[in-house]
Chain A
C-alpha cells in the first residue's frame, strides 16, 4: 500500500481477519484490516463502539481473549511474523517490544500491591542493564514518575492505587509503560474516564513522553478531537474495516469517506451552528455482516457495486487513502 523503506516500519498488519466464538456462532469482527506504524510515528485509530479498534491492537499485542480466532492475515513486528513466534519471543514482545496503557487505570493496576512494587516488576522483566538490581529499579521508577511530571515520586511509590486520583493513576500507567525503552506504545482510550482538564494534561504528558523516548504510538479513541491533538496520522475504522487513512491535517481538511463525513458532522462544535442529524441505521450485525462494503446499508451515496463487492483502498489524493467506490 504505502511505499516506504521496510526497515523503519514497526508494526505492519496485513489483511487481518479475526472472529470471536459465541454461543450464537462466529462473530466476524475484523474484516481485512491493514495498518502500518513507522518508527517514532504517532497514529490514532478512531471509530465508534464495537468497530474493532481494541481487537486490532489486542491482536498486535497478542493479548486476544481465548474465544478469538484469527481467520487470516499477518502481523509483522519489526519485520518478524507474530503468528510464527515462539512463546519465549512472545514474552519478549510483551516485556520489551510493546507496552499497553488501558482505559481504566483502576482495573489495570493491582489494588493489593504498592505502585512501587508494580513499577519495579515492570523494570525487572524488561531485561535492561541492571534490571535485577533493586537500586537500579528504584532509580528508574523514580525517574519515570518524575518525567511524567508527578510530584513527590518517593511517596507515590509507597502508595496503593486507591490512594491516588484518577488522573494520577493514568499518569502512573503512562510512566510504567515508558519506564523502559519500547518500540511501540499502545494507548487504549486512555482518557475516556477523565475530566476534560485532566484529559488535556494526560494527553500532553503522553505525547511528550512518547516523543522523548522515540517510541511509536497507537492511540485508540472514539473522539476525533483527541486524535487531532495527538496523532500524526489517523485511521478511521468502521465495522472491522479501515475506511480512511490520512495525515491528521489532511483528514480534517477534507474527509472523503461518507462515514467519516457523517461522523465529522455529528460532532458538536465549539463555534456553534447546531448538530447534524447523525448517521441513520446501526452498526451491522457481525454474525451476518453485509456482503460488500459494510457501510453500504447506511450510506446515502451507495452504488450498486457497494452491496456486492468489498471496496479496496483507493488513493484519490496523495497519501490519503479511502476504501470507497466513489473514488474509483
Chain B
C-alpha cells in the first residue's frame, strides 16, 4: 500500500445566505467529511448536483477558505486559501475544470496558455519553453501544429487536452478533475479517459476524480466516495462498492442508471426505485439528511444523524440500518 499524500479530516465549508433576515443562516455545502488519497490512486467523488462535490474540490485546491477541519498534504497543513499558500505547494495540486470552453483564455494561443505555469513556477529556463511545451503537447497527444492556435478553433475534446497539459506543466502529484468529460461526447470521453489513465501510470499521479457518472467511475476509480448533501454516505473500494452497495442512496443511484446490456442490469439493485429530489442545502432535514427519500426510513433516522461505520475493510457506510 502506498503512502497517503492527501488527508482531509472533518472538513466543513459553510456559505452565508444573503439578506438581513437570514443573518445566521448558512448553506452547509460540506458538513464534516473525511477522506484520504494515496499516491497513484484515483478517488472518485460521486453525487448529484448540490451534494457538495465541487465545493470539496475547490476547497482542496484552495479556491475557498476552510470553515472548519484540516487538509494536509504530505503531512503539511494546507487548509489556507491559495493566496496564502506557498508556491511550492500550489504547484503540487492542479485542477482540470468541467468546461474547457470557459477555463481557457480565448485571447491566448495554446503556446501562451501552456507557457504561463512554466513561467510562474520556474519549471525550466525561458529558452527551453518551446521544448517543454512540445513535450507537454506530445504527452496529451495533441499535434504540434496546434501550438499557435487559439482555443476557439479547437474542438471540445482538444480543448480539454490543452487543459490537462496545462495541469501537467507544473509536474504535480495530485490532479483534481472536476467532471472533466461530462461536457463531451462518449467517443471523445473514451479518448480522454484512456489518456488520463495512461498518464497516471507513467507519472504515478493521484487523481481526485469528480463526476456524476457512476458507470464511468466503475472504470476509472480505485475507491469511490458517494456524497449526499455535504456528507459522505458511503466510501469503499470500487469492486466492493459496485458488487455490494450498502447505503440506500447508493442503491437508488445505481438502480437509476440507464445501461446498455443485460450483464449490467445485474448490477442494478432491483428492490429500490428512485423517488423525491435532493432537498435544498439551506434546509437540511433533521437527523439523517437522506430520510426524506429513503424507502427504509425508521423513527431514529428522523432524529439522530448516523455515524460513519466500517462494515468491511475499507468499506464504510453512514446509515442506521448498519449501526446495530
Residue among A165, A222, A282 making CB contact with B277, cutoff 8 Å: A165
Against B, the Cβ 8 Å flags (1 = close, 0 = not) of A270-290 are 111111111100100000000
Contact A263 B186 (CB under 8 A): yes
Residue among A197, A224, A228, A268 making CB contact with B252, cutoff 8 Å: A197
How many angstroms from the CA of A264 to the CA of B242 in the assembled complex? 21
Is B165 among interface residues, defined by CB-CB distance under 8 A? no
Known: A271-B264, A275-B194. A197 touches B242 (CB 8 A): no
Contact A270 B256 (CB under 8 A): no
Is A154 among interface residues, defined by CB-CB distance under 8 A? no
Residue among A195, A222, A224 making CB contact with B278, cutoff 8 Å: A195
Residue among B193, B257, B275 making CB contact with A270, cutoff 8 Å: B257
Name the B residues within 8 Å of A265 (CB-CB).
190
Contact B214 A196 (CB under 8 A): yes
Residue among A48, A229, A269 making CB contact with B258, cutoff 8 Å: A229
Please, which residue of chain A has its CB at the minimum distance from the CB of B265? Answer: A270
How many angstroms from the CA of A96 to the CA of B213 in the assembled complex? 38
Against A, the Cβ 8 Å flags (1 = close, 0 = not) of B4-24 are 000000000000000000000
Report the contact-size class of chain B (Cβ under 8 Å from the partner): 35 or more
Name the A residues within 8 Å of B191 (CB-CB).
277-278
Known: A167-B277, A274-B219, A278-B194. A269 touches B212 (CB 8 A): no
Residue among B186, B213, B267 making CB contact with A48, cutoff 8 Å: B186
Please, which residue of chain B has its CB at the minimum distance from the CB of A47? Answer: B185
Contact A196 B253 (CB under 8 A): yes
Residue among B190, B238, B258, B263 making CB contact with A225, cutoff 8 Å: B258
Contact B218 A270 (CB under 8 A): yes
Is A262 among interface residues, defined by CB-CB distance under 8 A? yes
Is A199 among interface residues, defined by CB-CB distance under 8 A? yes
Name the B residues within 8 Å of A223 (CB-CB).
258
Known: A195-B49, A225-B258, A264-B260. A272 touches B187 (CB 8 A): no
Q: Which of B175-215 contact A (CB under 8 A)?
A: 185-191, 193-194, 212-215
Least distance between B141 CB and chain A CB atoms (Å): 11
Identify the interface centre among A168, A226, A268, A278: most chain B CB within 10 Å of its CB. Answer: A268
Please, which residue of chain A has its CB at the minimum distance from the CB of B184? Answer: A49
Name the A residues within 8 Å of B152 (CB-CB).
none
Is A71 among interface residues, defined by CB-CB distance under 8 A? no
Contact B219 A268 (CB under 8 A): yes
Residue among A195, A201, A275 making CB contact with B193, cutoff 8 Å: A275
Against B, the Cβ 8 Å flags (1 = close, 0 = not) of A155-175 are 000000000010110000000
How many angstroms from the CA of A195 to the CA of B215 in the assembled complex? 14
How many angstroms from the CA of A223 to the CA of B186 in the assembled complex? 8
Name the A residues within 8 Å of B156 (CB-CB).
49
Known: A278-B191, A278-B194. A198 touches B261 (CB 8 A): no
Is B268 among interface residues, defined by CB-CB distance under 8 A? yes
Name the B residues within 8 Å of A225 (CB-CB).
257-260
Contact B215 A269 (CB under 8 A): yes
Contact A252 B256 (CB under 8 A): no
How many angstroms from the CA of A58 to the CA of B274 in the assembled complex? 32
Name the B residues within 8 Å of A85 (CB-CB).
none
Known: A228-B260, A269-B218, A269-B261. A275 touches B253 (CB 8 A): no
Please, which residue of chain B has its CB at the minimum distance from the CB of A230? Answer: B258
Contact A197 B48 (CB under 8 A): yes
Name the A residues within 8 Å of B264 (CB-CB).
269-271
Chain B interface helix/strand/loop/mixed: helix
Identify the interface centre among A197, A201, A282: most chain B CB within 10 Å of its CB. Answer: A197
Known: A270-B242, A271-B263, A271-B267. A199 touches B187 (CB 8 A): no
Please, which residue of chain B has its CB at the minimum distance from the CB of A266? Answer: B190
Q: Number of A interface residues at 8 Å Cβ cutoff, please give it.
A: 40
Name the A residues within 8 Å of B216 (CB-CB).
268
Residue among A49, A200, A267 making CB contact with B256, cutoff 8 Å: A200
Least distance between A23 CB and chain B CB atoms (Å): 15
Please, which residue of chain A has its CB at the minimum distance from the CB of B278? Answer: A195
Known: A252-B261, A264-B260, A275-B194. A269 touches B219 (CB 8 A): yes
Contact A266 B260 (CB under 8 A): no
Name the A residues within 8 Å of B130 (CB-CB).
none
Contact A201 B215 (CB under 8 A): no
Name the B residues within 8 Å of A49 (CB-CB).
156, 185
Is B155 among interface residues, defined by CB-CB distance under 8 A? yes
Contact A275 B190 (CB under 8 A): yes
How many angstroms from the CA of A57 to the CA of B278 in the assembled complex? 33
Residue among A167, A197, A201 making CB contact with B253, cutoff 8 Å: A197
Least distance between B53 CB and chain A CB atoms (Å): 12
Known: A201-B274, A263-B187. A277 touches B194 (CB 8 A): yes
Against A, the Cβ 8 Å flags (1 = close, 0 = not) of B103-138 are 000000000000000000000000000000000000
Known: A48-B185, A263-B187. A198 touches B257 (CB 8 A): no
Name the A residues within 8 Å of B275 (CB-CB).
201
Supply 28 A–B pairs (Cβ within 8 Å), ascending by A: A48-B185, A48-B186, A168-B277, A196-B253, A196-B257, A197-B48, A197-B252, A197-B253, A197-B277, A198-B48, A222-B185, A223-B258, A225-B258, A226-B258, A266-B187, A267-B186, A268-B215, A268-B216, A268-B218, A268-B219, A269-B215, A270-B259, A271-B264, A272-B219, A272-B238, A276-B190, A279-B187, A282-B155
The 10 closest A-B pairs by CB, nearest first: A225-B258, A278-B190, A200-B256, A266-B190, A278-B191, A197-B274, A195-B48, A48-B185, A270-B264, A279-B187
Contacts A197-B253, A277-B194, A282-B155 aside, 16 further interface pairs with beta carbons under 8 A come to: A49-B185, A195-B212, A196-B214, A197-B48, A197-B274, A199-B258, A229-B258, A263-B186, A263-B187, A264-B260, A266-B190, A269-B215, A270-B267, A271-B218, A275-B189, A278-B194
Q: Which A residues form the contact surface with B (CB < 8 A)?
A: 48-49, 165, 167-168, 195-201, 203, 222-226, 228-229, 252, 262-279, 282
